[in-house]
Structure 1
Amino acid sequence: MNNDLSHQNFVVRISVLLNNSRNKIISTVNQTMVSTYFEIGRMIVEEEQSGKERAGYGKQLLSILSKKLTQDFGKGFSETNIKQMRSFYMNFSKRQTLSDEFKLSWSHYLKLMRIDDEKERNFYEIESSKNNWSLRELQRQFDTALYTRLALSRNKEEILELSTKGQILEKPKDVIKDPYILEFLGLPDEITYSENELEQKLIDKLEHFLLELGTGFTFVARQNRISFDEKHFKIDLVFYNRILKCFVLIDLKIGELKHQDIGQMQMYVNYYDREVRLVDENKTIGIILCQDKSEAVVEYTLPENNEQIFASKYSTVLPSKEKLKQLIEE
């Protein structure tokens, strides 16, 4: 029996080694391919510039290049693909990211090239690399206007920082979005559902919800019970943010936010700060997710120097660009 276990452990170790090596090979091949496409794009642009006095030179060059490369190297060098390589160089030759290396797949860069705003494009490149987003995750974050939602509450210097460093978490406000987009729950706006049903859907789709919450979040508990003076309360969802080193409490509200809801969250946050958090941890953050809210109610219920309690709207459907812009501006 012991020999069998020893053999199994040995096989597992070899399998881990092979998988790690395979992933490194794939990553290296991917980076080499993307860098090669970038270099091809650069050479095309420079060649076109040197021959720009000849009418139609660029179009002729791409056609000739496509035919020759396809003949010598097979598929992947259609005229459309070569134009994409040229666009790749033109879009990313002056980029500012965490590194000069290309860390994403070619499919990621094809998506990024379709983002016109350079600052926004840089932001999504950095965040995709930092958070290891799949192409699908990148597409989802772009569709839900993550950059716009984060940029809304920032000044010009902070927006520039988003485009050069990505999202940096230094204070509680940095993790907050307004609105939160929860289209992955499959709950159309017109269907009535309870807070318990909303909570259950979020638990069922926890991986998606963590992606929407952002960097550094880990799930701790649901319906977390706290008690004092023979009274019992339940916090809907409890998370921990490893970067800010603090608990994040989330309360779910159907309909419009009331001042009593804010007071309840203040109580939860105070309890966690005094009874749960450790000495080396930062103050607890409370987020109330609601369908609607009055900014005046939020403003006058919370103290002027508030840095712990936040109220954000949520949408259970992916709004149109016009509707999303309206939600953000509200």
Structure 2
Amino acid sequence: MSKINLHADYRLALDEIKQRIQATQIRAVLAVNRELLVLYWHIGQTIVSLQQAQGWGGAVVEQMAADLQNEHPGIQGFSRSSLFAMRQFYLFFSPRFEIVPQPVGQLPWGHIRTILGKIKDVDIALFYTSACIENGWSRPILELQIEQGLHLRQGLAPSNFQLVLPAPQSELAQQTLKDPYVFDFLTLSQKAVERDVENQLVANITRFLLELGKGFAFLGRQYPLEVNSRSYFLDLLFYHTRLKCYVVIELKTGEFKPEYVGKMNFYLSAVDDLLSAEGDQPSIGLILCKDKDRLDVEYALRDVNKPIGVSSFITKEISLEVQAQLPTVAEIEQQLARKL
């Protein structure tokens, strides 16, 4: 038995079977989920039809919830609040769709109830539905993205992508960037410098990557490059798995200045020559500033042939008075040493 287990052909066959089982399980879960949503759609449609035909209000929901729970005492999901949610589900999407919309049918019911509770526009709801499927968001992450208005920020960063990148790449690159980025997990004083921002972003790399979006792989901070026997250091370097290119991020705690573009253009040329391999697309630069003027950005990018975007970012700021009252790292270490 052990010899069979070690044979290469057997290992390959076993791996293939495992993958097929997993794929079948996923398809089964999705199929069951969609059937459940079709049921909820039908229940919502039935409630609306009865209310419209008989002039019944919320009483029909109360009665139906009681009867369904009496008939199926061991089955959850048919409470008064659940039936009202099914009614809302049908009313929300039915003006545009005759059946459960395809992307919506791939979401768990809890995600759908979150969207219904926070969004009033069908197109915006479909945006978050697709984003959920693409990124595999949990409900808390979905709530966070809605609260931070992702749909108002996605793809809005000023850039020169359309001028310097081919159409498919430029569109995907543009949609990858946001404006502004919300770094509400950072706590910075008004006199914070770039290294302070960099330190906290790296310390909160999971939240940082979530805000950047799907596809960003973190390669390092203060990433060294040597050009003409001189050393240069990139604030943050990423590789984007969908764009198939390096992404250089430079952090600026003040307002955007046109000279930042020249520096980024230099960095991108160096990355393309020193790091990019065959098959990689042109490297992209993202300048993150605390503030910017769009006209200044447009003029600065107008005749630049490297793909560069400029976005602002939002953080939680701590006043200088509060900052002064916070213990330093040395003080914290001293306190810990006394307790040990």
Q: TM class, shorter-chain normalised? A: 0.7 to 0.9
Please list the CA deviations of residues 184-233 of structure 1 after superposition, one character each: whole Å capped at 9, or x if unmatched: xx323546434223223222322222221123222223221111222111
Which residues in structure 2 correspond to 1:65-214 (within 5 Å)? 65-74=64-73, 75-94=76-95, 99=102, 102-114=105-117, 115-150=119-154, 170-183=171-184, 186-190=185-189, 192-214=191-213
Q: Structure 2: any 5+ residue segments left out of the alignment?
A: 159-168, 318-340
1:181 and 1:314 in contact (8 A); partners too: yes
Aligned-partner Cα distance in 1 for 2:287–2:149? 21
Once the 2 structures are TM-superposed, how far is the Cα of residue 110 of structure 1 from its aligned partner?
A: 0.7
Deviates more, 1:202-211 or 1:24-33: 24-33
Once the 2 structures are TM-superposed, how far is the Cα of residue 264 of structure 1 from its aligned partner?
A: 1.2
Aligned-partner Cα distance in 2 for 1:77–1:256? 54
Once the 2 structures are TM-superposed, how far is the Cα of residue 284 of structure 1 from its aligned partner?
A: 1.2
2:44 and 2:86 in contact (8 A); partners too: yes
Aligned-partner Cα distance in 2 for 1:236–1:145? 27
Once the 2 structures are TM-superposed, how far is the Cα of residue 179 of structure 1 from its aligned partner?
A: 0.6
Q: Matched residue of 1:221: which SS? A: strand
Once the 2 structures are TM-superposed, how far is the Cα of residue 121 of structure 1 from its aligned partner?
A: 1.0
Once the 2 structures are TM-superposed, how far is the Cα of residue 242 of structure 1 from its aligned partner?
A: 2.2
Identity fraction in percent: 30
Which residues in structure 2 correspond to 1:257-272 (within 5 Å)? 257-272=256-271
Once the 2 structures are TM-superposed, how far is the Cα of residue 252 of structure 1 from its aligned partner?
A: 1.1
1:70 and 1:76 in contact (8 A); partners too: no
Deviates more, 1:19-28 or 1:239-248: 19-28
Once the 2 structures are TM-superposed, how far is the Cα of residue 152 of structure 1 from its aligned partner?
A: 5.3
- Decide whether aligned partners of structure 1 residues 192 and 70 sit closer, same or farther in structure 2, where only a CA change above 3 A counts: farther
2:223 and 2:235 in contact (8 A); partners too: yes
Question: TM-score, with normalisation over the residues of structure 2?
Answer: 0.74
Once the 2 structures are TM-superposed, how far is the Cα of residue 89 of structure 1 from its aligned partner?
A: 1.1
- Decide whether aligned partners of structure 1 residues 231 and 221 sit closer, same or farther in structure 2, where only a CA change above 3 A counts: same
1:181 and 1:317 in contact (8 A); partners too: no
RMSD value over aligned CA atoms?
3.3
- Decide whether aligned partners of structure 1 residues 304 and 230 sit closer, same or farther in structure 2, where only a CA change above 3 A counts: closer
**How many residues are treated as equivalent by the alignment?**
296
Q: Matched residue of 2:253: which SS? A: strand
Give the letter for the 1:145 counterpart: G
Give the letter for the 1:187 counterpart: L
Q: Structure 1: any 5+ residue segments left out of the alignment?
A: 155-167, 319-330
Q: Matched residue of 2:179: which SS? A: coil
Question: TM-score, with normalisation over the residues of structure 1?
Answer: 0.76
1:256 and 1:291 in contact (8 A); partners too: yes
Q: Matched residue of 2:296: which SS? A: helix
Q: Matched residue of 1:58: which SS? A: coil
Task: Give the equivalent residue in structure 1 for 2:237.
Answer: 238
Confirm whether residue 31 of structure 1 aligns to residue 30 of structure 2.
Answer: no
